[in-house]
């Protein structure tokens, strides 16, 4: 069985390693996709083929055909909505089994935690605050900065995104770090940069969501959370073991 694992996330690496173990029972060929070279390196221990670039709908279709894929496992980030929609549509068109892995949501009820639908709404709420810590990556940073102002925004981004961030913010307002971080580290960063508000996404446990929120609350900062987009997935699992067992029933 040929499997395409759409990844680039911590979850996808765990899924890939577990699917790889099924080779003891059946013949598998795993193609792994990531939008970055770093994400691709994480898959070297389990993937037979690695693609490290964003794939549009037509490119995805060609990959599925080229490798004669039987099952597509979508383990992309919860906010990679276009990638998921393209995968669902192309799989339906080519009659390929589509399976989604979705991180569990961790909604936090607290008077200083506010949920909003998008980054524009988040930025408008944060506009009158003192300083804002953007802990939601590079993609929507410009939207926030355009509304709040570049002198009032601090952003934590991946080191690979620094050059892009420098087009939006002054160097002293950019924190370049890779990984998920402890509550204590988040707390100290928010305090040391004197931020009153944190903007983040509901990225789930593997995205360090709780650590960001509780770190902010401990230093008295408000947290504005962008809710996850809602998609109707044909098949969806929130547990890695259950997903792998499902793949096992299809392939072994």
Per-residue pLDDT reduced to its tens digit, 197-233: 999 999 877 678 999 999 999 999 999 999 988 899 9
> Rounded to an integer, what distance in angstroms lies between the CA atom of residue 89 and that of residue 228?
20
Q: Supply the pTM of this predicted model.
A: 0.83
Mean of pLDDT values over 10-27 = 89
Who wins on pLDDT, 42 or 4?
4
Q: Tell me: the pLDDT tens digits for 117-141?
A: 999 999 999 999 899 999 998 999 9
Residue 157 predicted with pLDDT over 90: yes
Domains of the chain: 2-104+230-251 (3.40.50.720), 113-226 (3.40.50)
> Rounded to an integer, what distance in angstroms lies between the CA atom of residue 176 and that of residue 42?
20
Residue 251 predicted with pLDDT over 80: no
> Rounded to an integer, what distance in angstroms lies between the CA atom of residue 154 and that of residue 174?
6
> Rounded to an integer, what distance in angstroms lies between the CA atom of residue 221 and that of residue 196?
5
**What is Dmax (Cα atoms) for the chain?**
59
In sequence order, what are the residues at sequence separation of 6 or more whose Cβ sits closer than 8 angstroms to the Cβ of residue 78? 102, 103, 201, 202, 203, 204, 207, 228, 229
| Helix locations, the chain, DSSP H | 10-20, 37-41, 57-66, 81-94, 119-126, 141-148, 162-165, 183-192, 209-218, 240-251
Please state the separation of Cα 109 from the chain's center in Å: 22
> Rounded to an integer, what distance in angstroms lies between the CA atom of residue 223 and that of residue 111?
10
In sequence order, what are the residues at sequence separation of 6 or more whose Cβ sits closer than 8 angstroms to the Cβ of residue 43? 5, 7, 12, 13, 16, 32, 34, 50
> Rounded to an integer, what distance in angstroms lies between the CA atom of residue 117 and that of residue 129?
19
């Amino acid at each position: 069985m040929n499997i395409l694992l759409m990844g680039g996330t911590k979850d996808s690496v765990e899924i890939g390693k577990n699917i790889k173990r099924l080779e003891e029972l059946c013949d598998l060929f795993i193609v792994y996709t990531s939008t970055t070279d770093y994400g691709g390196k994480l898959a070297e221990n389990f993937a037979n083929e690695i693609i490290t670039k964003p794939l549009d709908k037509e490119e995805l279709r060609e990959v599925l055909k080229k490798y004669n894929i039987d099952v597509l496992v979508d383990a992309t980030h919860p906010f990679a909505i276009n990638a998921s929609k393209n995968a669902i549509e192309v799989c339906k068109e080519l009659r390929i089994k589509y399976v989604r892995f979705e991180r569990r949501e961790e909604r936090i009820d607290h008077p200083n935690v506010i949920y909003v639908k998008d980054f524009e709404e988040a930025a408008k709420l944060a506009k009158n605050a003192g300083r804002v810590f953007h802990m939601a990556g590079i993609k929507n940073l410009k939207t926030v900065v355009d509304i709040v102002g570049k002198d009032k925004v601090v952003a934590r981004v991946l080191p690979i995104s620094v050059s892009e961030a420098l087009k939006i913010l002054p160097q002293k307002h950019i924190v370049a770090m890779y990984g998920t971080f402890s509550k204590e580290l988040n707390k100290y960063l928010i305090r040391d940069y004197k931020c009153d508000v944190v903007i983040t996404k509901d990225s789930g446990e593997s995205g360090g969501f709780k650590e960001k929120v509780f770190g902010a609350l401990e230093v008295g900062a408000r947290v504005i959370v962008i809710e996850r987009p809602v998609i109707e997935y044909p098949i969806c699992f929130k547990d890695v073991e259950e997903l792998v067992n499902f793949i096992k029933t299809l392939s072994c």
